[in-house]
Structure 1
Amino acid sequence: MANSRSGDSMTDRIVRVLETFSDDRTMQTATEIAGRAELPLSTAHRIVGDLVAAGLLERDEDGRIRLGMRLWELALRGSSALRLRQAALPHMERVQSQIREHTQLAVLEHDEALFLERLSHPDAGANITRIAGRLPVHASSSGLILLAYADPTVRERVLAGPLRAVSRETVTDAVALRALLTSIRRRGYVAAPGSIESVSTGVAVPVRDRGEVVAALSVVLPRDADPTAALDVLRDAARNTERDLRALR
């Protein structure tokens, strides 16, 4: 790809354009994209126009831009996330029907917990996670599972900080977090009260593929709920997901 005068490649600029979209910012003007992507207005208009023509972005009748369906389609083709979600979803549905609380599937992506799926019950409590949303890997129960079993270089990079607090109870001390991760590996699960919402406890277990932890299954319980029943159901769901992952190879 050709480089700009600033030295960034066309691929870099396209990625910056796409990364201006978020859970809370699904529609933008080309001018807003230019500012957030730190691109000249003419460059942003040209890239946006090309991406719209390719179907990766869409333009509404008012000229605002959103992510295109073709981007979603291409992302799913051959994606390991699609295989993982396909294996996990039936078992997540069983967890959700029994526990009747938010049930989530997350993977480690760029030192964050990326949520691939979330099932919710109308009476479930507070939960800030969204499908395709991210949380700091040290903050949520899913993230703590993923960090505990991550490659040591990833773990050390995260422990080096900064460790941002999502709530008053998020573990942000590196020594305490290291001890917590060791405990998670020993027990094979985590129950994290208040790390995201003060009224909730996240409970999570690992999902393995070929011996490697590739995901975390979690539920979000009321703060004072006993996690024992949820852990039993989650462990069963993780085992069944692992079995179905083998069948999908």
Structure 2
Amino acid sequence: MTDGRPPKSVLARGAMLLRACGDCGTALTLAELAQRTGLPKPTAHRLLGELVRLGLVERTEEGSYRIGLGLFVLGQSAPTVRELRDAALPYLGDLHEATQENVHLAVPDGTDTLFLEKITGRRATPIVSRTGGRLPAHCTATGKLFLAHDPGPLHRTLPRLTPRTLVLPGQLARDLALTRARGYAVNLEEAEVGVSAVAAPVYLRDHGPRPIAAISVTGGTRRLDMARMGARVCAAARALTRTLSA
């Protein structure tokens, strides 16, 4: 949106609907999608009909809408995403086996962190994240890594997800400075109460000083030894960096 108004182009409006469907992770009604995008209901209904015909959106038996298989296939065909995910999977699997907790591969997406992959199991702490989902960067360990190297997206009001979310500029700036000095980021119940995370950066040769991705381990606050987990996640991220740069 620009100045709170939906964009005029049909393509941009369709993209807004796709993102609204994808961000939620569950089926949404026409009214919910119109509210999330700011589009008039008739416009949203017409565009959703086109997206359904293209296979990018599915309509449920209840009349709600969700991301379609066609969009999933398109996303999986993106070479950069596929190559990064394929290279990372062995290291994510090793981390999960060693920790029995949730392990993520994430990339920056504007003011959010986007989870390309999530490995979990029966012994892992239940958390809200999912493959293909997003969370605000300022309250996630992976997102803080990206912001530590590029704080530009922070020029806006930051949502508070829990009582421990860092929303004051000075407070967050100090945390990001510590992240740079330490070499890994920590989220202490800032996205979910009782849940914390540690994330380490993944780099690519000739791509500059900014990380292209991040690996994290997320679990119950009482179960995570932050210093020990930080060393483990950093080792995995360095190994993936070497693989990508070989």
TM-score (norm 2): 0.84
Deviation at 1:186, TM superposition (A): 1.4
Deviation at 1:129, TM superposition (A): 1.6
Give 1:230's aligned amino acid. Answer: M
The structure-2 alpha-carbon separation of the partners of 1:38 and 1:237, relative to structure 1 and needing over 3 Å to count, comes to same
Q: Is 1:190 matched with 2:185?
A: yes
Give 1:241's aligned amino acid. Answer: L
Question: Is contact 1:83-1:245 (8 Å) kept?
Answer: no
Give 2:140's aligned amino acid. Answer: S
Question: Is contact 2:138-2:166 (8 Å) kept?
Answer: yes
Question: Is contact 1:203-1:221 (8 Å) kept?
Answer: no
Report the aligned-residue RMSD: 2.5
Q: Distance in 1 between matches of 2:31 and 2:66?
A: 13
Match of 2:132 in 1: 132
Match of 2:3 in 1: none
Question: Is contact 1:126-1:199 (8 Å) kept?
Answer: no
Match of 1:207 in 2: 202
Match of 2:172 in 1: 177
Deviation at 1:128, TM superposition (A): 2.2
Give 1:240's aligned amino acid. Answer: A
Q: Distance in 2 between matches of 1:228 and 1:127?
A: 21
Q: Distance in 1 between matches of 2:177 and 2:43?
A: 48
Q: Distance in 1 between matches of 2:111 and 2:168?
A: 17
Match of 2:236 in 1: 237
Consecutive unaligned residues of structure 1, counting only runs of 5 or more, are 1-5
User: Per-residue CA shift, 1:72-113, capped at 9, x if unaligned?
Assistant: 111222342222211111100000000111111111101111
Deviation at 1:22, TM superposition (A): 4.3
Deviating 4+ runs (over 6 angstroms): none
Give 1:223's aligned amino acid. Answer: T
Consecutive unaligned residues of structure 2, counting only runs of 5 or more, are 1-5
Give 1:84's aligned amino acid. Answer: L
Give 1:108's aligned amino acid. Answer: P
Deviation at 1:59, TM superposition (A): 3.3
User: Per-residue CA shift, 1:147-179, capped at 9, x if unaligned?
Assistant: 1122xxxx1440x33122221112122112112
Deviation at 1:25, TM superposition (A): 5.9
Q: Is 1:20 matched with 2:15?
A: no
Give 2:203's aligned amino acid. Answer: R
Q: Is 1:145 matched with 2:151?
A: no
Match of 1:117 in 2: 117
Q: Distance in 1 between matches of 2:25 and 2:195?
A: 26
Match of 1:3 in 2: none
Deviation at 1:114, TM superposition (A): 1.2
Larger radius of gyration: 1
Deviation at 1:188, TM superposition (A): 0.5
Q: Distance in 2 between matches of 1:176 and 1:209?
A: 30
The alignment of Structure 1 onto Structure 2 pairs a total of residues equal to 237
Percentage identity across aligned positions?
33
The structure-2 alpha-carbon separation of the partners of 1:34 and 1:94, relative to structure 1 and needing over 3 Å to count, comes to same
Q: Distance in 1 between matches of 2:115 and 2:80?
A: 14
SS for the counterpart of 1:20 is helix
Of 212, 218, 221, the match for 1:220: 218
Deviates more, 1:135-144 or 1:41-50: 41-50
Deviation at 1:58, TM superposition (A): 2.6
